[in-house]
Chain A
Amino acid sequence: MVRYFTRLRMRRIYKWVSTYVEGQEAVTTVTPGQYILIEGNDDEYPFVAKLLKFFGDESHKQKKALVQWFLRLSEVPQNKKLLLGRSPHPQEIFYYLGRACDNEINAESILGTVQHVPEDTPFPEPGTKDTLYVKLSWDTKAFNVLDPVLMQDTPASTPPKPALPLFPPCASPTATPVSRGPVRRALPTPDPTVMRRAGSVSDTRATMSAGKRSTLEAESIHSASKLSASKILSAKRRGSAADTPGVRKKLQLSPGKKMTRADVLCELLDEEMESEKVISLKLSSSVSHSLQHGCSLSPMRSGCKTPNGQRRFPWKLSSISLDRLSPTALGEQDLSSDLLLAVIPLALEDEVFEAGLPTDAGSANTPKKRQATPRRNYVREQKATTPSRRKESAMAIRKPALGVLAEEDSEDSPMQPIALTPRSKRKSAQLVSLRIRKQLNLLDNTQKLISDGDDDCFVPSKKDLQSSSDSEEETMVRKTRGRNGKASARTPCKTPSKKVCMVTPSTPRHATPSIPSRTVPARQPGNILEEARARLHVSSVPESLPCREQEFQDIYNFVESKVMDGTGGCMYISGVPGTGKTATIHEVIRCLQHASDMDEIPTFRFIEINGMKMTDPHQAYVQILQKLTDQKVTADHAAALLEKRFSNPAPKKETTVLLVDELDLLWTRKQNVMYNLFDWPTRRHARLVVLTIANTMDLPERIMINRVASRLGLTRMSFQPYSFKQLQQIITSRLNKVKAFEEDALQLVSRKVAALSGDARRCLDICRRATEICEHSTSHPSSAGLVRMNHVMEALDEMFSSSYITAIRCASLQEQLFLRAVIAEFRRLGLEEATFQQVFVQHRALSRVEGLQPISVSEGLAVCQRLGACRLLLLEASRLDMLQRVRLNVSQDDVLYALKAVRD
């Protein structure tokens, strides 16, 4: 699933690597219209594409090519494979209709050409392993039958030839010599019609010999000076050369242990931390090198001849070849760099970005501004979309049913989401979710049906997974999943059985959290007041967030810049409750998500935790991890996994935006939770943006120890309480032309709330209550008019007036007498505290004055306890009996005022 997206980054890497080869024995030349293999992260499965045209970039330093991509099944997200509906042929490829992949590649990454066989016949026998077939197209959402026009429409049509089973593709990276494509000096104009147009191919995987040798010779416009970094990094190269024995040691072990490449590479990275050096090698090797067919390559080919073992052998062999060559590499820089160029870079795409080096053609030439040339933006767009698909697929794996259904839905209108505005998008999302819910039952059935046919069809892809994963992150995930016994959850054929478990009540482990749905749908608001009430409810999502434009912009800029740069950072946001902190951030995220949907910024992941919504600060780790990877582990384990995740480089990492609400609740004695939360963004590979929210402005100074506060940094923002004008604006914008309030009434509410707290929630609640009062004040609910001043006044009274005075007035005579006795005793003592015994003496005297029968001590205590229960009095524990001390919880003046009013 993750590999699927590596194409883009791979391409970027190789842009910097000049594979211009001199003294090549076999030079492959390519012409537009040919089908080519493009170097990917997987030796066995180079990417397949059709070459559309060549061009050079603005500075003529790079040669680029426009291609039409084809996908292998293994590149299709796991969950989408179900959509195929049949068992895929192992050599089948799909015409790629999606737009998320940059179809501009560097000419240097072309490995060789292949030939094109339109395949209308049924799939041949599995014996012919090296032929690729195209029957369907894939538009990231569904498989469609390929339009024959697309296939025919090949400008430089190569005559169909039978597939040539030649050298297995595994030999390609090191072995394929590449000739540079023809250079067009015109600026590239990515024309979508051109990009889409391509033929469907059945490629043979042959690289050199099968290709038509073009007579076009590439012009070398490489200059050694173009890489400013190469010199700086050349020192590191030496270091890496010294490190290679370690690599070798590892690699020697690897074939026996049947480790996947990813494992080895991960270990390489972990132990040697060579990534930068490797880049330096790559960079420095940009000047032309001679790539030789080392002796190591022959065993590779021979190994690959057995068709069955093909998938796993090649890379092992390639590692051996690396192994063999590395001793020589120690001495010869050229050779070693060539080698690394071929093998190691696969895992290191990220590094280039991280290092801030100009990685793509566009950025190499344009200044490092965010809004640079359109070209650069275009590239960014592409970058942005790739992880999004990954996210989508990850989500889909988690919830296979929903994922599939969503696809079905979107099949109707694949372009819809892009065309929509954010608001309508939200609506459409709701619509979709509604439909999902409706069809859930239906879906369960189809899932089961599909699963029946699935069991055998994923065997090859599983194997594939084992052999070709190359991301650290992925292996990490897999390891942990394995430990949890959830490894199988990735293959869709297992998921249905899991779903079956969910239904049975005996396994609450897989229970789905849900509230039963109602039989009668909720009634919609009937009149204006009800409508206004619905709109004024805090939960209703407003069209926009008025009065927080500045804060919105600041947060937006902060997060956007971090997401764009692929860096991390912390932000602390403070403000009293009800000032729109969380709402603003959600709005920011909504907008950013929209922007990333529109390919304006790279995709990112939004995770939200709330200190109040967890039982223990350490649960934060568990929740973050669960939201990131959907695994359930203990807090300690989760902390370790997250630590690893954020500190280790992983190639396909997207930026994570983490919102930590109610930060102060995450305080622990050692503050390690906070420390980690703020430390991770500072890690080089984390790409984590942490937004924290709390109420107090000086929280970092008050409760955080220095090292935590220092990591939080000084990016702070405080949300001021709303002023009355803002509150008024909020209400009006929420009401949105529903005329339910008098203007003065609104102003009164907002002024009152602004004077007291500036809490928007309170303001809305009062307005809501006022509409109720208005509705009840008239006999007919339909005849109720506007909410007027008196209604609002009544609501304000209800919400703000203290109930103590009414409570005293409504108390029984003895209770009132007791309160007077308390005050009398306080006056006598000159203290604000007296024992019950003392007060009771006063009470008895008072009742004599009042002409009441004196009450017994037991009764007196009961009266006292009643007052204490209402908290008109504050009492000590009642086991002290007569000795318990009594204090007033109301001011003496209030008591006297209330009692005086009673007597009058």
Chain B
Amino acid sequence: MTQAELRLCSLLLQEHFGEIVEKVGNSLLRTGPRPLRLLVGDTGLLLDQVKKALCVLIQHNLVRYEVQPRGSVEYEAQSKRILRLLRYPRYIYTAKTLYGDPGELLVEELLLHGHLPMSCAVARVADRLTETMEDGKTMDYTEVSSTFVRLADTHFIQRCPIVPESPRNTKAPPPPAPALAIAEKDMYTVPRLSLIGKGKRRHSCDEEEEGEHKAKRQKQEGGSSETPPDDGIYWQVNLERFHQHFRDQALVSAVASRMDQTSSEVVRTMLRMSEVTTASGASHTQPLSSNEIFRSLPAGYNIGKQVLDQYLALLADDPLEFVGKSGDSGGGTYTVSILSSWAPPSHFPHPSLIPLLLHRFGSRCARIFRLLLRKKHLEQKQVEDFAMIPAKEAKDMLYRMLSENLVSLQEIPKTPDHAPSRTFYLYTVNVMAAARMLLHRCYKSVANLMERRQYEMRENKRLLEKSQRVEAILASMQATGAEAAQLHEVEEMITGPERQQLENLKRNVNKIDASENQVDETIFVLESFIESTMKRP
């Protein structure tokens, strides 16, 4: 783990779970898997505090435990998973686009709590949706349930590993920690529950309703103390599936920008058909016949079968190898090659990434970079000639990129004694090294952004608190029907310059937050690229 990753993990833990959890997570990340008592020693925290922190971390799948042969339990932090905290908004937003508000809230609840039983998740979401509805209306459980089932069917959520059945007649003492496990085939099976009910509002506006409401809750509370019907069956968000979705989206938009809307729709259809049959990490989708594809095209697309075949042929012929032809049965079978579209030998990930990343260095550097990618190895002189950049400038750019590890020098000796005067020095791009360097930079960027944001908030703490107090006073005054003049007087408690300061703060914090989201997108692209390149045989 690099320092940059460690620092970012620390900041994320601290922001979402507080300093105690951060200290524990940090210790595990830096010194590796440890048992409880060593952890207490390392962190300097109280035993109970460490226990609580571990419970939280395990609940959120950020730490795993393992029983050692000697009987002690060791805890290990999952650094990659901790970094995913940054991506939560994207997961939630995606769920919204695919499954609407119930989908969005279900994914949000599962992320906020780490894992939940279905009954609990459905109840919470129904309550939340009810809050947003008009007076008197409530959200029925069935709609939320059916969205839950759809999320499970498309593998966006999955079941957590379960506690093994303990044999009744065992004489041995129970193990220090359960060995949780789940079979692949059970991971998406929704238990047969009949969840009946409606969402409840937390507070009602008039007393009468409140009275009824309380009575109703009493009855329902009676039920909640019993074990729920799906006791022991927990669900969590399947992050990998979301990642697959993001990759698919990127692929489709790459096809759209390279060819046209219709071809991107064809690819999108193919990907949709293969959603659950493609193992994560697979290099291609399962072969799909052109007949099947034709039948699965979305309703709005009235292209003839022959036109579809032409499109498929075009896609298969494209040097970027998005789609490959795998056979002739059923009118021709095709696959979408996922891996090679992410790690094509001659292309840096996601063609639009180059200008983005090299914006820092300038468009001429970008030109040199692309040139080196295409030509693999070039001498100094050749770079100047091909890129049509004057020598001095070219040299300067190459050295700068060299010092940042974006390009490297390759020695090709002409003679066995490697004499410098008789050796070729060629510039080349080591794609993996460059990608890793950029990724490292991204981690650093996000950490810097977070620290700056926290600094801004701290600097303005007094003013923020004052502003919140004034808001509260205003709200209560409005509720009790104060006059405009009185309200105005209270508003005046915040002076003009203070208002300006608050606005600036808000603008800056928004900008920083938006930037963090943006950098996470780049992190995703780079991580996917590195992962898929490493998988390539």
**Chain B associates with chain A:** no
Interface residues, chain B, CB within 8 Å of chain A?
Answer: none
